[in-house]
Structure 1
Amino acid sequence: MTMPTRFDGTKDRVAVVVPGVGYSPARPLLHFARSVLLQHGWTVQELWWQIPDQFAQFTVDERIAWVERQVTEAVEAEDGACRLVVGKSLASLACGITADRDIPAAWLTPVLTLDHVATALRRATQATLLIGGSADTLWDTHLAASLHHDVLEIPAADHSLELTGDTAGSVDVLRHVVSRLDHFIASLTH
């Protein structure tokens, strides 16, 4: 079940913000992504999904289908106004949706180790930002560098884009990520 939350800006320019498994839109990366979008005049639709209890037993294909269904419903609910998807981790299983619909996307810690995600990112032609950490086991440095997208890799950052044992450094990483998101979103606005 997906529970959308809307923050209104420009009605014809909607960004859909999609969480990870345990990373809701209230967590720092997505919270500040929403703030940046609002500053640039976007309407923001946040997905607050409830991962099914049996999700851990889903096959990879079942997980992809579940995520794609959630994201497709959110995009279609905007009646053609969805112009950007910002997603964290699990959300990147919907890369094929943005690629097929020519929607720009910003993927925070995308699951680059899945062929489905890598293949979708290869065919994406719209502006795409990939942000990951070199200490994230789901990030693939070489794949990210080989794609024709905007890439920000944070040295030593984990899957939450944090630095283990370095709180102040993690705040600096967050600042850097938010700045890069701001630049990316501004480039879509002009």
Structure 2
Amino acid sequence: MRHPQPNIADARWPADPDRVAIVLPGGGYTPARPLLHLARNVLFGHGWTVQELWWAPPTTDEDERAAWALAQATAAVEAESARRVLLVGKSLGTFAAPLAATRDLPAIWFTPLLFRADVVDALAAASAPTLLLGGGGDWSWDPRLADDLGLPYLELPGADHGLEHPDDPVRTAENLVRVTRRVNEFAAAL
């Protein structure tokens, strides 16, 4: 479902108003898709208020999309009055990694765009708890680089950019269980 405005906080599940997780979707991966839906449920279960952004990037130019996503994430963070903010981003949403690094915000990054120097540099500068989740068959994932960053990560062998196996729904479901467990462990430690 596309919304007329690019940055709509469509869903907010109140738990603790002093702890807000902001979900930053991918370019074509909405908060209703499995990875972000399950992350939301895990965070809600740990007492976080969850704000989901629903957006449609206004351009296909990669640098313009990066600037746009970072601006949307910055506006969402600046609109929050919570003492603690957690960023949860998928693909396009990982363009907010510089925001997390400069503001010392914890983050969960699904399929981070590790081919982008701005994302990698921000991840390397992260000092708050940060979790990376990627697929071994994902064009945006680089396991050596993920390892070099020194951040905790979960790599799912053979998984694509959605952390799925399109030809094997059972294996995809198993991936979702592994991801959900890892996000739960991360959230419990925050």
Q: TM-score range by the shorter chain?
A: over 0.9
1:103 aligned residue: 105
| Structure 1 counterpart of 2:165, from 154, 163, 166 | 163
2:7 aligned residue: 2
1:143 aligned residue: 145
Normalising by structure 1, we get a TM-score of 0.94
1:175 aligned residue: 177
1:38-187 aligned within 5 A? 38-52=44-58, 55-56=59-60, 58=61, 60-187=62-189
Q: How many residues align?
A: 184
- Report how far residue 62 of structure 1 moved: 1.8
2:119 aligns to what SS in structure 1? Answer: helix
Q: What do you get for the CA RMSD once the two structures are aligned?
A: 1.0
Q: Is the 8 A contact 1:75 1:82 kept in 2?
A: no
Q: Distance in 1 between matches of 2:174 and 2:57?
A: 31
Normalising by structure 2, we get a TM-score of 0.94
> In the alignment, does 2:33 pair up with 1:31?
no
1:20 aligns to what SS in structure 2? Answer: coil
- Report how far residue 95 of structure 1 moved: 0.3
Q: Is the 8 A contact 2:57 2:65 kept in 1?
A: no
Q: Is the 8 A contact 2:98 2:123 kept in 1?
A: yes
The aligned amino acid for 1:160 is G
| Structure 1 counterpart of 2:17, from 11, 19, 22 | 11
Q: Distance in 1 between matches of 2:32 and 2:84?
A: 21
- Report how far residue 140 of structure 1 moved: 0.8
Q: Is the 8 A contact 2:57 2:68 kept in 1?
A: no
The aligned amino acid for 1:2 is N
- Report how far residue 163 of structure 1 moved: 1.4
2:3 aligned residue: none
Q: Percent identity?
A: 49
2:167 aligns to what SS in structure 1? Answer: coil
Q: Give unmatched runs, 5+ long, in structure 1.
A: none
- Report how far residue 61 of structure 1 moved: 2.9
Q: Distance in 1 between matches of 2:94 and 2:73?
A: 10
Q: Distance in 1 between matches of 2:32 and 2:79?
A: 22
- Report how far residue 6 of structure 1 moved: 1.1
1:152 aligns to what SS in structure 2? Answer: strand
Q: Is the 8 A contact 1:16 1:82 kept in 2?
A: no
1:102-138, Cα deviation, whole Å (9 max, x unpaired): 0000000010011111111010111000000010011
